[in-house]
Amino acid sequence: MKKKNLMYILVLVSALLFIGSCSKTDDTALSGDRGESVAWMNFNEGYKKALAEKKPMVIDFYADWCKWCKVMDTETFSDGEVAKKLKNDYVAIRIHTDTQAHERLKFNNHEFSVQEFSSMMGVQGLPTVVFMDRTGKPITQIPGFLKKDVFLPLLNYITEECYNRNVPFESYMKDDKACQKIKSSGTP
């Protein structure tokens, strides 16, 4: 009888943990630790806005069931500095790969399903962040959880367009002036 009760308890705890991990979060805004928040847009609206304002885009591919997507929300996107940088210098776009699966995404005068667009952007797992430049050209995609101390320099690296100056991100991480040094010396 003791063994049977233990089994029921284990099943109950497992079910509660599963239900807790599947709970929905508010996707529209994540408050930063200094009052800033990320105002996520859907792809079609965000893409139009980014092109009109000539801003680069951060596209977050995520799902509610994705544990590391939630960790990225609470540890990276909720950070005040990250939220402020995204708000001031980027258009933040979020694509929910499950609930938005029926939507058609308009990109470069073509329409794609979320699955087609995800595949075209090289998304193979979640979370994945895709960066696009001011003209809507994809720069890179980065799979997996990104800590704030990597994500914030990455935002600066993209904003400064260091990728166009052949400055490796690793060099930029060691010296955040590496991009400016190349620009001022006139060498590519």
The answer to whether 155 touches 76, Cβ cutoff 8 Å, is no
Give whole-number Cα distances, 34 to 45, 82, 116, 141, 152, in Å.
Answer: 27, 10, 37, 28, 15
Q: Provide the pLDDT for residue 153.
A: 96
- The reply to whether 94 falls in a domain is yes
Asked if the structure places residue 100 within a domain, the reply is yes
- Residue 107's domain spans which residues? 25-145
Structure confidence at residue 8 (pLDDT):
36
- pLDDT tens for 134-163 read 999 999 999 999 999 999 999 999 999 999
Provide the pLDDT for residue 181: 77
pLDDT tens profile 100-112: 878 999 999 999 9
What domain count does the chain have? 1
CATH number reported for the structural domain that contains residue 74 in this entry: 3.40.30.10
Is residue 99 domain-resident?
yes
What's the pLDDT at 20? Answer: 39
pTM of the model as a whole? 0.78
In three-state secondary structure terms, 59 is strand
Residue 59 domain-assigned? yes
pLDDT < 50 stretches in the chain? 1-34, 187-188
Judge if the upstream peptide bond of residue 143 is cis by omega within 30 degrees of 0: no
pLDDT at 17: 32
What's the CA gap between 67 and 23, in Å, rounded? 11
Confidence (pLDDT) at 37: 83
Tell me whether residue 173 is in a domain.
no
Closest CA to 49 of 18, 8, 91, 79: 91
**Residue reference for tokens 């995204």:** 86
d(CA 70, CA 78): 11
Residue 165: inside a domain, yes or no?
no
Considering the domain boundaries, does residue 162 fall inside one? no
Whether residue 176 is contained in a domain is answered as no
